A and B are shown apart, each in its own frame.
Chain A
């Protein structure tokens, strides 16, 4: 079965420093994708970054980058130059295997709460 594991319930980072949020996954699909979402206290899920398993390079979007290590089945999110507004919950997610069904529903980890200190 597919599974996403986020082992850090909470993280602190000093403003302007970089932080890495861990995500490991389990899937037997040869082709898959991984999402990272940010959820502020207001509740909306904000898309941050996507990595496809066959992408040649690690994904980057502004201050967000993915440290994708396929052999280790990890897709860690790196936030550079942390800002106070980065304080939020962060979720790693994977679409349900299209080999199982065609819904593309997302399977989420339990999340990491990031607090940026001034």
Chain B
């Protein structure tokens, strides 16, 4: 297992377009997290899955954002009608119960909305 994988590494999109990011967690990890990091700031929590269930969503996750984790494996984060304010690094992390075990981040997807 090579760790948490995120794809793509970089994405440039025009304002108003939809984008989708993928995260492949460590295979035995049942918890998966999405964070957003804007320039000069620490990551901020967006949403969290335990297996296939999305258990929590931050207020940062507007109606234009949706995340899925079908079958409790990989996860996707979709942003519809992108805005310039969505430009950020989107980080995925995974862990095992009891929650902190093996907490590992991916390399992130850097989104630029032009």
Cα–Cα distance between A35 and B104 once the two chains are bound (Å): 12
> How many interface residues does chain B have, given as a range?
20 to 34
Once A33-B100, A93-B42, A110-B42 are accepted as A-B contacts, the answer to whether A105 and B56 lie under 8 Å apart by CB is yes
Size range of the chain A interface in the assembly: 20 to 34
Q: What does DSSP make chain B's interface, helix, strand, loop or mixed?
A: strand
In the complex, A45 has a CB within 8 A of chain B: yes
Interface string of B1-44 (1 = CB under 8 A from A): 00000000100000000000000000000010101000011111
> Taking A95-B100, A102-B99, A103-B55 as contacts, is the C-beta distance between A42 and B107 under 8 angstroms?
yes
Residues of A within 8 A of B91 (CB): 43, 45
Do B104 and A106 have beta carbons less than 8 Å apart?
no
Q: Which residues of B contact A (CB under 8 A)?
A: 9, 31, 33, 35, 40-45, 48, 55-56, 89, 91, 93, 95, 99-100, 103-108, 110
Known: A37-B105, A45-B91, A106-B45. 8 other contacts (CB 8 A): A4-B42, A43-B110, A45-B43, A95-B100, A101-B56, A104-B100, A105-B48, A110-B40
Binding site for B on A (CB under 8 A): 4, 33, 35, 37, 42-47, 91, 93, 95-96, 98, 101-111
